[in-house]
Amino acid sequence: MQTSLPISSSSETQPKMKQHCDHQADCLKMIQLILDGEATEQQLEKLKVNLETCQPCIQMYHLEKEIKELLQGRMEKKCCPEKLVATIKARIASFS
Amino acid sequence: MPEIMSDTPTRGYTEDQKYQIFNKEFMPHIDSMYNFAFRLTMDEDDANDLVQDTYLKAFRFISSFEQGTNAKAWLFRILKNSFINDYRKKSKEPAKVDYQDVETTYNSEEAEVEHTVDLRAEAVSDLIGDEVATALNSLPVDFRTVIILCDIEGFTYEEMAKILDIPIGTVRSRLHRARNLLKEKLRDYASSMGYNEENEE
């Protein structure tokens, strides 16, 4: 049983790697659901198969994952200025 | 304040309880709220105003918040509505591409040929945060919003549907379109940096 992704498999013993896919747009939607944690078990199973047999799926999966990680990890997270926190607290306190 | 009242019955909190809820359930989200406001307005002063307005509204209408429920989603919803109602109207930005136009365009395009953007993971892996931010900022605000909520803040589709007052199916399709747009922007960056220039095999 192969566990790692067969990114470039040319061996004849491997299942034939699909280089072209007619359902790319649908697969992309499924990949996004999976990365968002919104996929069904069935979709997860399907992706597992595709990641072993379909080159376009492998590439799309890596791209979507990379972009999601870029957005999560590499963009600056703005913190609320202390002054604003103090202002809000003061305004709220004056309500009572 | 219809956006807050929604369908929940109001609760009779004592003054002490109100402050307790405010401090323990609302204030811990202030950095996320500020970041959201900044990503929406792209301006620190506007983000300041938006966050302050939102927290004051949240306190005034605290009786429509059910203690122990999802405070973060509740606050984000108020902020999003304040942004639409107050900020966007007086926005000094020149009228940008209208979201409806964009959605219609993409709907009709995608109805025929669902397109995927030709971009490789390796081409974006070297982009820095500022470049990603610029690409994100160049998207129409409704598309920007779903990406912020999902990818940056980690809300579920169901939470996003509540925050944005749209069906889950719309969340899904808007997110999909937003990501295609973002990829187009990132592809432009990547190719201007000299990546993604491989020829067809």
Tell me which residue of B186, B181, B176, B177 sits closest to B120, measured CA to CA: B186
CA distances from B79 to A10, B59, B172 (A): 53, 13, 21
Query: CA B51 to CA B149: how far, in whole Å?
Result: 16
Tell me which residue of B79, B39, B126, B175 sits closest to A66, measured CA to CA: B126
Cβ contact, residue pair A80, B34, below 8 Å: yes
Closest in A25, A76, A96 to B129, CB measured: A76
- DSSP letter string, A11-52: -TTSPPPBS--TTHHHHHHHHHHHHTT---HHHHHHHHHHHH
| Tens-binned pLDDT, residue by residue, of chain A (96 aa) | 444 555 554 444 556 788 888 888 899 999 999 999 999 999 999 999 999 999 999 999 999 999 999 999 888 899 999 999 999 999 999 886
Quick check: helix, strand or coil at residue B48?
A: helix
CB burial of residue A61 (10 Å; 0-12, 13-18, 19+): buried
A67, HSE (Cβ side, Cα atoms, 13 Å): 31
- Whether A74 contacts chain B with CB within 8 A: yes
Max CA distance (Å), chain B: 70
What six digits make up the tokens of B109?
């395009």
pLDDT band at B108 (very low <50, low <70, confident <90, very high): very low
Cβ contact, residue pair B35, A24, below 8 Å: no
Please name the residues between 33 and 62 in chain A that touch chain B, using a CB distance below 8 Å: 33, 36-38, 59-60, 62
Query: CA B34 to CA B31: how far, in whole Å?
Result: 5
Whether the CB-CB separation of B112 and B140 falls below 8 Å is answered with no
- Whether B136 contacts chain A with CB within 8 A: yes
Q: Which pLDDT score, from 0 to 100, does residue A2 have? A: 44
pLDDT of B199 over the 60 cut:
no
The average confidence (pLDDT) of chain B is: 83
Query: CA B180 to CA A96: how far, in whole Å?
Result: 49
- Whether A29 contacts chain B with CB within 8 A: yes
Q: pTM (2 decimals)?
A: 0.82
Q: What is the dihedral of CA A77, B35, B138, B91, to 10 degrees?
A: -150
Closest in B60, B157, B179 to A38, CB measured: B157
pLDDT band at B79 (very low <50, low <70, confident <90, very high): very high
Whether the CB-CB separation of B79 and B33 falls below 8 Å is answered with yes
Residue A78 is given by DSSP the state: P
- Whether A85 contacts chain B with CB within 8 A: yes
CB burial of residue B171 (10 Å; 0-12, 13-18, 19+): buried
What six digits make up the tokens of B172?
């899904």
Residue B28 is given by DSSP the state: G
Q: Which pLDDT score, from 0 to 100, does residue B106 have? A: 52
Q: Residue A80: left (phi > 0), alpha (psi -120 to 50), or beta?
A: beta
What would the mean pLDDT of B53-58 be, rounded to a whole number? Answer: 97
Residue of A nearest to B155 (CA): A36
Structural domains of chain B sorted by starting position, each given as residue range(s) with its CATH number in brackets: 2-90 (1.10.1740.10), 99-192 (1.10.10.10)
pLDDT of B87 over the 80 cut:
no
